[in-house]
Amino acid sequence: MKRLKLTSFVLLALAVLAFPAASTAGEKTAVGPNFNMFGQQTDLAAGTAFHIRLGWEGLSPDLDAIGHFSSSLDVDGTPRAADFHVFGPSPIFEGTLVRAWFWNFPDGMSAGIHTFVAHGFTPCYFAVSSFAYPGPCSDPNATVEAVTVSRTVTFS
């Protein structure tokens, strides 16, 4: 139980902690600085490269339904496919796994107000125990949206 609470605390830390942005086949890399969906920043320079990194850090390798942990991103109401993802051993927490998705914005965004919505999906049992998801779970391993974060950003 203590490990589960630590894991739930660490899950969203991926957006805050620095960990290597490179590395799936093809040497994919993130462009520009990370825009932290969980931070306080609400303005960015228009036309300046940045990336958004979302995912789950500190997952136990023996966690049930580990493949049901995922993230997605909507930009101005439109779902956007990730540019690349990293699944594997965590470079931060020894003996744990990371599942992370990266969205690159090499040309930045046009001037104006844009809305980003991050979605975090987990197995239902994990959402109930770690994110106050209402449940109950008819299938504990069914994928549910456990976390949603919306950010409105002014690009000038």
d(CA 44, CA 110): 10
What CATH number did the domain enclosing 71 receive? 2.60.40.10
Would 23 be classed as within a structural domain? no
Phi-psi region of 70 (alpha: psi -120 to 50; beta: other; left: phi over 0): beta
> Domain of 114?
2-15+42-155
Measured from the Cβ of residue 139, the count of other Cβ atoms closer than 10 Å reads 11
- Residue 108 and residue 45 in contact, taking contact as beta carbons nearer than 8 Å: yes
Mean of the pLDDT values across residues 128-142?
92
d(CA 26, CA 43): 32
- Residue 137 and residue 126 in contact, taking contact as beta carbons nearer than 8 Å: no
pLDDT digits (tens, 9 = 90+) for 45-96: 999 999 999 999 888 888 888 889 999 999 999 999 999 999 999 888 899 9
Would 71 be classed as within a structural domain? yes
Average pLDDT, the chain: 84
Number of independent structural domains in the chain: 1
For 10, the enclosing helix (H) or strand (E) is helix 2-11
Measured from the Cβ of residue 27, the count of other Cβ atoms closer than 10 Å reads 8
- CA 86 vs. chain centroid, Å, equals 11
Sign of the C-alpha dihedral, residues 63, 65, 67, 70? negative
Would 147 be classed as within a structural domain? yes
The three-class DSSP label of residue 8 is: helix
pLDDT digits (tens, 9 = 90+) for 2-46: 344 333 333 433 333 334 443 334 558 999 999 999 988 888 899
Q: What is the DSSP string of 75-144?
A: ETTEEE--SEEEEEE-SSSTT-EEEEEEEEETT---SEEEEEEEEEEEEHHHHHHHH------SSTTSEE
Would 21 be classed as within a structural domain? no
